[in-house]
Amino acid sequence: MLELGTDEFAKYPFLEGAGKILKDKGFPLSQFGTDPDLKSVVDKAYHRLKVSTKGGIYKSEIINGEASDSAREKEIFSFLLAIVLLKLTGMHTLIKRFALAEARRAENHLEKDLGKASDKSKIDLAIRIIYDLFNIEVIKEDEFFKIPVSDYLKHSTDFHEREWKLINRHVEGGKVLLTPDKTVRLIRKELGNYIISKITNAPTPPMISGLENIVKEFTSIGKDLTPSYVVTSGEYPPCIKHAIEVLEKGENLPHSGRFMLATFLLSKGQTVQQIAPLFKNAPDYNERVTLYQLNHLAGTSGSGTQYSCPSCEKLKTQSLCFATAECDTIINPLQFGKKRQ
């Protein structure tokens, strides 16, 4: 069990023990809706949530700087109150966005802590967090971090870029050598899932008098962000079904996967407006950029050329192919389900 103080909880407020700090203060949740002294915490929680709904990462002005205990407590309480507000909206889309944004934020801190060559306590803390949450034993050696090959393979299965293939990594004595950023990148998905499960498993409190309007506002934002158009994937090839599932889970689909999905659906006659909502759950969703890119692929902007869906061979090299027997000998996903002449 980690022994943490407010400076660590301010960076990693999802860790066990953060709630106790609030409890020890003796503030009931109802007080946040009425007490003017707690208004700044409510404002911070609101801001924290708002940033995550736009796909951004909340930046604190006190982390890594001199700050009083009360400023750090405010930081922790704003995270806890944001969770309460999320629970009151009941919007899973918002929970996912918030969890992913907070995971990215924690990732930045873990990376910085691991990279602090002169501060052993910070490095030890980051290593302990990774071990306690994800059971990965990280050992520091010179400027690298070593993790067992089995853990590396387990946690890198969703990484399709070449650099993550084991053959392209430096391996010594059954351990993979990683830089601080790569070490942390490896647990990004798990960190997000960990925060999602913490929020999902937290009890939903009764409505807090005085905060109804904030809850109403975020419920409405959550409804707007929930895809209203769901593509029926029944007749689609496995690669396309997989890409849709990744997006529906709010996980990151690589650029090559987005290109495949968009060009496939465009070739099937779907419009840019029909396809765009599929990307709403992507952690880095931006409506303007998504529409711009889709219009570009559809040939309705830019050069006017409509891009084609890549071949199965190309998709295999991009680790986007999930062939089943039904794929038979087709050479392009667009041929899936069609009888050969």
Which residues in 276-315 contact ligand SF4 (CB under 6 A)? 312, 315
- Minimum distance from CB of 261 to ligand SF4 (Å)? 11
Residue 215 binds ligand SF4, judged by CB under 6 A: no
Question: Which amino acid, one-letter code, is at 274?
Answer: Q
Region of 210 (left: φ > 0; alpha: ψ -120 to 50; beta: rest) is left
Question: Which amino acid, one-letter code, is at 33?
Answer: G
DSSP letter at 255?
H
The window from 4-12, 77-85, 187-195, 322-330 that contacts ligand SF4 (CB under 6 A) reads 322-330
Binding-residue total with ligand SF4 (CB under 6 A): 12
DSSP output for 276-290: GGGGTTSTT--HHHH
Which residues in 232-251 contact ligand SF4 (CB under 6 A)? 237-239
Q: Which ranges of the chain would DSSP assign to H, the alpha helix?
A: 6-11, 18-25, 39-53, 69-89, 92-114, 120-134, 149-155, 180-185, 188-201, 212-225, 238-248, 255-267, 272-275, 287-298, 312-317
Residue 13 binds ligand SF4, judged by CB under 6 A: no
Residue 321 binds ligand SF4, judged by CB under 6 A: yes
Residue 262 binds ligand SF4, judged by CB under 6 A: no
- Minimum distance from CB of 336 to ligand SF4 (Å)? 5
- Minimum distance from CB of 294 to ligand SF4 (Å)? 21
Nearer to ligand SF4, 239 or 261 (CB): 239
DSSP output for 122-170: HHHHHHHHHHHHH----EEETTEEEEEHHHHHHHSTT--SGGGSGGGS-
Nearer to ligand SF4, 51 or 330 (CB): 330
Residue 257 binds ligand SF4, judged by CB under 6 A: no
The window from 12-20, 66-74, 142-150, 231-239 that contacts ligand SF4 (CB under 6 A) reads 231-239
d(CA 112, CA 108): 6
Residues forming the site for ligand SF4 (CB under 6 A): 237-239, 312, 315, 321-323, 327, 330, 333, 336
